[in-house]
Amino acid sequence: MCARAHPLTFTIVPRVGPFASRSRRRRHAGRRPHASPRASRYVPRMSSQFEEGTTLDRYLLETMHAHPEARGQLVTLLKQIALAGKLVSARVNRAGLAGMFGATGSMNIQGEYVQKMDLYANETFKRAIEHAGVVCMMVSEEEDAPVAIPERFSFGDYVFCMDPLDGSSNIDTNASIGTIFTIFRRVSEGGPGTLADVLRPGTDIVAAGYIVYGAGTVLVLSTGVEHGVQGFTLDPAVGEFFLSHHDIRLGDSTRSYSCNEAYAAQWDPRLRAWLDALKDPKAGWSARYIGSLVGDVHRNLVKGGLFLYPPTAKAPNGKLRILYEAFPLAFLVEAAGGAATDGRRRILELVPEGIHARTPLFIGNREDVEAITRILSA
């Protein structure tokens, strides 16, 4: 990670980011992008004292102010996500005391045992968001079908897709777990959202992020490559997220990989050979794997690292879900200068065939992802 620009920087031109109105985005469609978006950043002057105390709300408001035409729906949605994240964080921290460890005894659509905390997180995010008039539909790993907005609430411009509690089978062990989310601007016209609003390429995403509940609670967010990737740590004493990871950037390459190597016998032999070569002590690689995607990718984003979940005999399309696991993490990692593929294609160019469609995932530092993709697509 390196701090290259002020965290509150935002692009002045063009005003066609995720906060812009749909008509403005249409008018700008097809125009040449600004030659160097980062070069045009406005850098507000402020003392380091204030810089240290930048809350998530302030970051969002100042970013939105750069887009006077924005209606504020995306900011409201992001604030409600942060609120739900605080509630889940509090419950995760006292899960053992609150009787929230363990499984409910039922299975979800993915054939996985549902943990008590999965249900709590799912309900908490739905309740925090559905009433705000900013989404027209939601998708959750815990729900077979898209989640409709109750009739008493109004519909908004966005669609929210989430894995409410990724890695939840780790909760009893105090390992990092987290909420991962993708946000699209709707393409359907008014009323409830439709499948067309979510079965679309990841290049349409307007914002994505995760909240990792670990030694601390950290919300990592990107509203597009021109805004970079920012991390906010929850200060539980005051209940606020403060900017703690300015403009997270991944180096070109790494010496750390994360995967469940117990499945190696089921992998493509070319992948096995590549991994074996890394074990030469002269290559200087290490392995780090939690078994919680959000925990593994967070560590790799902060320290550098390559995460792999290749296809296996049991999961020929991989295990991880496109809409609310691979897409948002690919969006963040690309915005930080990294890359993500399914072994052949760029993740963000996939179009999911269903809301719970899966994909193999190779994600992390750009040169390493490119190397493995070259080998697997040869």
* Site residues, ligand AFP (CB under 6 A): 112, 166-170, 260, 291-293, 319
Torsion sign over Cα 118, 329, 59, 129: negative
Contact 250, 366 (CB under 8 A): yes
Amino acid found at 302: V
Task: Name the token pair of 6.
Answer: 């002020």
The CB-of-144 to ligand AFP minimum distance in angstroms stands at: 17
Contact 49, 101 (CB under 8 A): no
- Chain centroid to Cα 100, Å, comes to 25
The CB-of-297 to ligand AFP minimum distance in angstroms stands at: 9
Task: Name the token pair of 30.
Answer: 């097809």
Per-position b or e across 186-200, b if 16+ CB within 10 A of its CB: beeeeeebbeebbeb
Looking at the Cβ atoms of 154 and 260, the one nearer to ligand AFP is 260
Torsion sign over Cα 119, 172, 163, 1: positive
Contact 186, 178 (CB under 8 A): no
Identify the CA nearest to 17 among candidates 221, 222, 223.
223
DSSP state of 204: G
The CB-of-311 to ligand AFP minimum distance in angstroms stands at: 12
Beta bridge mates, 6: none
Q: What distance in Å separates the CA atoms of residue 299 and residue 125, rounded to the nearest whole number? A: 24
Looking at the Cβ atoms of 105 and 190, the one nearer to ligand AFP is 105
The CB-of-168 to ligand AFP minimum distance in angstroms stands at: 5
How big is the chain by its Cα radius of gyration, in Å?
A: 20
Helix 293-303 to helix 327-335 angle (10° resolution) is: 10
Phi-psi label, residue 225: left if phi above 0, alpha if psi -120 to 50, beta otherwise? alpha
Task: Name the token pair of 189.
Answer: 């016209």
Q: How far apart are the first and last CA of the chain?
A: 32
Looking at the Cβ atoms of 18 and 167, the one nearer to ligand AFP is 167
The CB-of-166 to ligand AFP minimum distance in angstroms stands at: 5
Q: Quick one: which H or E segment has residue 267?
A: none
DSSP assignments along 139-167, one per residue: EETT-SSPBPPPTTS---SEEEEEEEEET
